Amino acid sequence: MPEPIQLETKDGLYLPEADLWLDPHRKHRWAFVSHGHADHFARHDRIITSKPNAHILRARYNVTPSRLEPLEFQQPFDHKGFTIRLFPAGHIYGSAMIHLTRKSDGATLLYTGDFKARRGLTAEEPVFRQADTLIMETTFGKPQFVFPTITEVSGDILNFVNTALEEGATPVLHAYSLGKAQEALAILTEARIPAVLNSATAKMTTACREAGAGLPEPVLFQGTVPAGSCLICPPNSLHKDKYKGVENPRSAMLSGWALIPGAKYRYRCDAIFPLSDHADFPGLLEAVNRIRPKRILTVHGFTQEFATELRRLNHDAWSIDGDDQLELALRV
Ligand SMILES: [Zn+2]
């Protein structure tokens, strides 16, 4: 059996044999950037990323093309003794998982970045490739997080929007400008409800469209919302001056955290719906079952809780930010 691909976890995720960082916060020579959210990006010398995300990085952060190594999904790429392939992660449009194979002995590693197990409306369908070592995000890694299907949650959101319109209110959907906003736009478009988007959200929608996402051309919010339309804008933006012209707003937040009691008060909105761009707890387990790894590292969110659950299921699993390697040693 080949030795595992070396992984260093001090100061981020680093693969020394491939001289490659995975979604590092600080600038490095070579980095894989899984998707366009700011907490996964820095201005690296060279960036390996998916072709659609390369376009999004250029639009969002003005990255010069010479720094980008855009790969088609599943296209093999030779890098310092490894074959790299990217697979869709299903998190937001263009989001990717990276799979490495060490050419000398066939050892493999998969890093998921942020991912979703079920297909949403705008991101590509996730593809889970088998790997010996799995590094996975576990944002919702506790059993209480079981999301409704996209059909159920879309139905609830549309009920909210239609009721607001019938009662003469302006429906406002709060969604992050990249990812959730496009998902909200897709839900409204399917139901033929017109939407206006704030500038950041419109800009990211245009970037996704140019990168290949099947979305309508965004209509820009210019101070008022036409009758019969819905406004899509970022969380907590309604108190800003430029939204003063929105009459009788009725707001809803779209977030997986909706499942936490009291979330609606925390987000200061009238309603909250569990539309998430991450895997829920069963989705995380499903990913592990499909990837069939020999060892697992959990890296975001409820890392220790999910690693404990995986060990209970007889996986060799540990979390990046805990003492559970010691706990594991003591258990043996
Ligand atoms: Zn993300």
pTM: 0.94
Q: How far is the CA of 40 from the centre of ligand 1 (A)?
A: 7
Q: How far is the CA of 37 from the centre of ligand 1 (A)?
A: 5
What integer pLDDT is reported at residue 332 of this predicted model? 33
331 pLDDT more than 80: no
Q: What is the pLDDT of residues 228-240, one digit of tens each?
A: 999 999 998 888 8
pLDDT band for position 267 (cuts 50, 70, 90): confident
Q: How far is the CA of 1 from the centre of ligand 1 (A)?
A: 34
Q: How far is the CA of 5 from the centre of ligand 1 (A)?
A: 25
Q: How far is the CA of 278 from the centre of ligand 1 (A)?
A: 8
251 pLDDT more than 80: yes
Please state, in angstroms and as integers, the Cα–Cα distance from residue 263 to each residue in 105, 236, 266, following that order: 49, 13, 5
What integer pLDDT is reported at residue 239 of this predicted model? 86
What integer pLDDT is reported at residue 329 of this predicted model? 41
Q: Round to whole Å and give the CA distance between 111 and 182.
A: 25
Output the six-digit token pair for 32.
Answer: 């894989």
Mean pLDDT of the chain: 94
Specify the CATH architecture of the domain 150-273. 3-Layer(aba) Sandwich (3.40)
Q: What is the pLDDT of residues 104-115, one digit of tens each?
A: 999 999 999 999
Q: What is the pLDDT of residues 6-30, one digit of tens each?
A: 999 988 999 999 999 999 999 999 9
Q: How far is the CA of 6 from the centre of ligand 1 (A)?
A: 25
Q: How far is the CA of 98 from the centre of ligand 1 (A)?
A: 15
What integer pLDDT is reported at residue 322 of this predicted model? 73
Average pLDDT in the 247-272 region? 91
Half-sphere exposure of 226 (CA within 13 A, CB side): 9
Q: Say whether 201 sits in a helix, a strand or coil.
A: helix
Q: What is the pLDDT of residues 69-100, one digit of tens each?
A: 999 999 999 999 999 999 999 999 999 999 99
327 pLDDT more than 50: no
pLDDT band for position 324 (cuts 50, 70, 90): low
Q: How far is the CA of 36 from the centre of ligand 1 (A)?
A: 7
Q: How far is the CA of 331 from the centre of ligand 1 (A)?
A: 34
The CATH superfamily of 13-144+278-331 is Ribonuclease Z/Hydroxyacylglutathione hydrolase-like (3.60.15.10)
The residue extents of the domains of the chain are 13-144+278-331, 150-273
Q: Round to whole Å and give the CA distance between 132 and 124.
A: 24
The CA R_g of the chain, rounded to the nearest whole Å, is 21
What integer pLDDT is reported at residue 268 of this predicted model? 86
Please state, in angstroms and as integers, the Cα–Cα distance from residue 290 to each residue in 93, 102, 128, 150, following that order: 22, 21, 6, 21
What integer pLDDT is reported at residue 264 of this predicted model? 83
pLDDT band for position 325 (cuts 50, 70, 90): low
250 pLDDT more than 50: yes
Q: How far is the CA of 269 from the centre of ligand 1 (A)?
A: 22
If we measure between CA atoms, which residue out of 221, 60, 145, 52 comes closest to residue 43? 60
Q: What is the pLDDT of residues 146-173, one digit of tens each?
A: 999 999 999 999 999 999 999 999 999 9
What integer pLDDT is reported at residue 77 of this predicted model? 97
pLDDT band for position 248 (cuts 50, 70, 90): very high
Q: How far is the CA of 330 from the centre of ligand 1 (A)?
A: 35
Q: How far is the CA of 114 from the centre of ligand 1 (A)?
A: 5
If we measure between CA atoms, which residue out of 330, 331, 146, 161 comes closest to residue 231? 161
Q: What is the pLDDT of residues 55-68, one digit of tens each?
A: 999 999 999 999 99
If we measure between CA atoms, which residue out of 298, 285, 184 comes closest to residue 231? 184
Q: How far is the CA of 303 from the centre of ligand 1 (A)?
A: 16
Q: How far is the CA of 182 from the centre of ligand 1 (A)?
A: 14
169-183, 191-205, 315-329: segment of lowest average pLDDT: 315-329
What integer pLDDT is reported at residue 298 of this predicted model? 97
326 pLDDT more than 60: no
Average pLDDT in the 216-232 region? 96
282 pLDDT more than 60: yes
